[in-house]
Amino acid sequence: MTRPSPGDPVALSTSNEAMTAHVSAVPFRAQPFAHYWLAVAPFGALTGVLLGSILYLFYAGVGIWGIDWPVAWGFALINYVWWIAIASGGTFISALFYLTRSEWRNAINRIAETMTLFGAACAGIYPILHLGRPWFFYWLFPYPNTMGLWPQFRSPLLWDFFAILTYVTSSVLFWYFGLLPDLATMRDRATSRRWQVFYGALALGFRGSSTQWRHYHVTYGVLAAIMAPLVCSVHSIVGLDFAGAATPGWHSTQFPPFFIFGAFLSGFATVLLLVMALRRLLNLQAWMTGRHLDVLCKLMLTSSLFVGYAYVMDGFTVFYGGEKADIVNYTARLFGYYAPVYWGAVLFNVMLPQLLWVRALRVNQLLVTLLCCGVIVGMWFERYTIVVISLHRPHLPSAWGLYHGSLWDWLTLMGTAGLFVFGILLAIRIIPAMSMFEMRETLEQRR
């Protein structure tokens, strides 16, 4: 039998040294590949748009947004829930499937964790901006102050603050701790002094001794066991933000699981989209194989079924409960001014993902890409439905009104999307895009 050539996919996929050399070579490149700049330039420009929008918001105030009575919460709340849902999908893949010892997650968990980090950062921007005076955000901390004021612990805004703070802190620790062995590998493979010092400082003295590995696996397992239920906890809190209000369309006990289902769907779709893009950008097809894409498609399909069930139960509980205001609000959702938004959410989140039952369609990457983009847009439609359509039909008919996002709402949304992708593209130029030490274990098990 002939020996595979060094560039052959079989040789790459079965060689630890080839995999480590290929993944670690990306951050060490003096000049990134040409198509990298084609990806960075537009998203870097959108990040600049976000910065300009925030600066003008500080100057002019939240009146530049489209919020008004009765829709006092607009894009700020929509985008906050949307981004935190996207972030949660990465944590679910990395933490939960680590606990179940699913070996396929070893190739994609780094992308998923990095996505979580920047998704949570984008989500955290909106509650602070919506404070009106964001430079006083520290007033949300329950700290002893000279005026004897304490935060309103019954306020959902305070719940969001602690949820975001806990989630971002835990996500950073989980992401960084999972990087330590790879940072040590980068330190040992570095040829220039500046890279040795840089990665050596980040590796925190990790040398790969048996004692360090024993402590590492125990600590990482504990962090994974914390992060997996924390995802459900954060989204339950976000759901309770709505369920705790007496607004028609919000006051429902199904909101916590409803938001968890939506988080899984949008998170899996975003991870799948990033994996398909980065495996081609960085030439990682030998390790991020079609099996990974197939598994993620199945997870997205399962989440879509959960979301479809939540949509059905949402309508059932409204008409079964018999509350007149809820029925009027739900009817407006189906046939009113914003009906295209609601039916768009149903189409993109429930109907189109059913194509993934067919394996021939699951391996069609162009179709899967379109479905992922549709799910991400559909989940934004769902958030728009929950926030805007519920608020524009309150209990008093005399208070009914319409809402439209302003130019600054849209610019801020596009800016956070740019920040999200721009941050991930910068991260893969500094850290390995794939967990090398876990992939080495996986390749050894395959052999």
pLDDT tens digits, 212-238: 999 999 999 999 999 888 888 888 888
Least confident of 156-160, 168-172, 273-277, 377-381: 156-160
Rounded mean pLDDT, 63-67: 89
- Mean pLDDT of the chain, nearest integer: 87
Residue 155 Ramachandran class (φ > 0 left, ψ -120 to 50 alpha, else beta): beta
Residue 432 and residue 182 in contact, taking contact as beta carbons nearer than 8 Å: yes
Q: Is residue 304's pLDDT more than 80?
A: yes
Residue 78 or residue 3, greater confidence: 78
CA distances from 309 to 241, 254, 255, 261, 349 (A): 21, 11, 13, 10, 11
The predicted structure's pLDDT at residue 234:
84
Beta carbons within 10 angstroms of residue 94's beta carbon? 29
Least confident of 65-74, 120-129, 137-146, 213-222: 137-146
Nearest CA among 276, 261, 253 for reference residue 345: 261
For residue 246, what pLDDT band results from cuts at 50, 70 and 90? confident
Rounded mean pLDDT, 56-72: 88
The predicted structure's pLDDT at residue 30:
61
The predicted structure's pLDDT at residue 152:
77
For residue 269, what pLDDT band results from cuts at 50, 70 and 90? very high
Rounded mean pLDDT, 106-126: 91
Domains of the chain: 9-446 (1.20.1630.10)
CA distances from 57 to 64, 126, 149, 234, 327 (A): 7, 12, 27, 28, 37
Q: Is residue 45's pLDDT more than 50?
A: yes
Nearest CA among 300, 286, 277 for reference residue 374: 300
Q: Is residue 3's pLDDT more than 60?
A: no
Nearest CA among 110, 132, 93, 431 for reference residue 263: 93
The predicted structure's pLDDT at residue 1:
32
383-396 pLDDT, tens per residue? 999 999 889 888 88
Residue 355 and residue 371 in contact, taking contact as beta carbons nearer than 8 Å: yes
The predicted structure's pLDDT at residue 4:
36
Residue 446 or residue 62, greater confidence: 62
Longest dimension (CA), the chain: 82
The predicted structure's pLDDT at residue 32:
64
Rounded mean pLDDT, 400-426: 93
DSSP 55-99: HHHHHH-GGGSS--SS----HHHHHHHHHHHHHHHHHIIIIIHHH
The predicted structure's pLDDT at residue 119:
92
Least confident of 136-150, 339-353, 359-373: 136-150
The predicted structure's pLDDT at residue 187:
93
The predicted structure's pLDDT at residue 12:
46
Q: Is residue 371's pLDDT more than 60?
A: yes
Q: How much is the CA Rg of the chain, to the nearest whole Å?
A: 23
For residue 14, what pLDDT band results from cuts at 50, 70 and 90? low
Q: Is residue 7's pLDDT more than 60?
A: no
Q: Does the CA dihedral 378-82-93-281 come out positive or negative?
A: positive
For residue 322, what pLDDT band results from cuts at 50, 70 and 90? confident
The predicted structure's pLDDT at residue 118:
93
Nearest CA among 208, 265, 237, 283 for reference residue 21: 283
Location of structure tokens 């130019």: 407
